[in-house]
């Protein structure tokens, strides 16, 4: 399967403003690129990339002041397979976990496990450890929070999501992650592209999405508390402890968002691509 991905963002800045951007796909997917993935800026600015401690590709720029736009448009190859379901994936005793997995058991900025531990054990202490326990958490969060774009709040923590019972995809992910960690299941936050491939077309504009992964049976597995069903065409851009580590744009100065477009479209034929448009993006 071929998927055409991209975005067009614009922010207003008020004087030179350093920015850190997590707008590139993860390095693990670079071999699947059919056309180059290049971020372009208007006005043009110098940009350099580095890999952060979580393995994400970060782009650093200094916006010169005024409006700055950034965009990308590229094609990637995907397996067309839905998220794998592995019901017999086991939960590891904490003492047996790899060292690099341990940070994903700890509380973090948006995953306030200290406030949710008693709640988690009262809700899920009787569930079967492993995949069944994670699925029970996902089912609970999926039914507990009401999705509403108008209720987005970048200060809402997992405990806030539990008490307020409304939010957007990041709130579903934060609450599920926090509950998993409370149950000694390592969980990490993910953000990236997720279109409506394999499902009925959605009536609202495309967006980046947030979901999470848990460490069971010696590897990481994908779960999505908002949709609560395996999906096709999930392309990860960033992973981390929570949304703090995976912010798509971090501005060291005031920079309100004034334009936002995302596209994630399945291609049935490469001839349907506007190669001139892709060439300009590259």
Residue 106, classed as helix, strand or coil, is: coil
Q: Is residue 85 part of a domain?
A: no
Q: Where are the beta strands (DSSP E) in the chain?
A: 2-13, 17-21, 40-42, 48-51, 57-63, 66-77, 146-147, 166-167, 187-193, 208-216, 219-223, 235-240, 249-251, 257-267
Greatest Cα pair distance in the chain: 58
Residues 145 and 217 both lie in one domain: yes
Could you tell me the residue range of the domain that residue 73 belongs to? 2-80+248-276
Are the C-beta atoms of residues 172 and 191 closer than 8 Å to each other? Answer: no
Spatial distance between the Cα atoms of 62 and 168, rounded to a whole number of angstroms: 30
Residues 19 and 47 both lie in one domain: yes
Spatial distance between the Cα atoms of 5 and 159, rounded to a whole number of angstroms: 33
Residue 149 per-residue DSSP state: G
Spatial distance between the Cα atoms of 192 and 246, rounded to a whole number of angstroms: 10
Residues 224 and 112 both lie in one domain: yes
What is the pTM for the complete model shown?
A: 0.93
Q: Is residue 105 part of a domain?
A: yes
15: domain CATH number? 2.60.40.2250
pLDDT in tens, the chain (282 residues): 999 999 999 999 999 999 999 999 999 999 999 999 999 999 999 999 999 999 999 999 999 999 999 999 999 999 999 999 999 999 999 999 999 999 999 999 999 999 999 999 999 999 999 999 999 999 999 999 999 988 889 999 999 999 999 999 999 999 999 999 999 999 999 999 999 999 888 777 788 999 999 999 999 999 999 999 999 999 999 999 999 999 999 999 999 999 999 999 999 766 555 544 454 443
Residue 228: CA count within 13 A, CB half-sphere: 17
- Kindly give, in sequence order, each residue whose CB lies less than 8 Å from that of residue 155, ignoring residues fewer than 6 positions away: none
């Amino acid at each position: 399967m071929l998927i055409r991905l991209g975005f067009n963002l614009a922010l207003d800045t008020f004087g030179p403003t350093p920015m850190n951007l997590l707008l590139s796909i993860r390095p693990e997917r670079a071999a699947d690129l059919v056309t180059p993935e290049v971020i372009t800026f208007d006005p043009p600015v110098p940009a350099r990339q580095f890999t952060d401690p979580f393995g994400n590709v970060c782009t650093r720029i200094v916006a010169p002041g005024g409006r700055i736009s950034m965009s990308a448009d590229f094609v990637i190859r995907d397996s067309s397979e839905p998220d794998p379901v592995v019901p017999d994936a086991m939960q590891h005793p904490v003492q047996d976990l790899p060292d690099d997995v341990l940070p994903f058991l700890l509380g973090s900025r948006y995953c306030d496990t200290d406030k949710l531990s008693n709640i988690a054990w009262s809700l899920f202490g009787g569930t079967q450890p492993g995949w069944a326990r994670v699925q029970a958490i996902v089912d609970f969060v999926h039914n507990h929070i009401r999705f509403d774009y108008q209720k987005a709040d970048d200060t809402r923590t997992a405990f806030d999501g539990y008490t307020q019972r409304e939010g957007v995809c990041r709130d579903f992910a934060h609450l599920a992650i926090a509950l998993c960690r409370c149950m000694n299941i390592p969980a990490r936050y993910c953000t990236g592209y997720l279109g409506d491939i394999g499902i009925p077309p959605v009536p609202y504009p495309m967006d980046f999405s947030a979901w999470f992964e848990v460490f069971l049976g010696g590897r990481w597995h994908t779960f999505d508390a908002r949709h609560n069903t395996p999906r096709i065409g999930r392309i990860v851009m960033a992973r981390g402890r929570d949304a703090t580590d995976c912010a798509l744009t971090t501005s060291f100065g005031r920079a309100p968002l004034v334009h936002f477009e995302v596209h994630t479209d399945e291609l049935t034929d490469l001839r349907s691509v506007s190669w001139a448009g892709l060439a300009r993006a590259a």
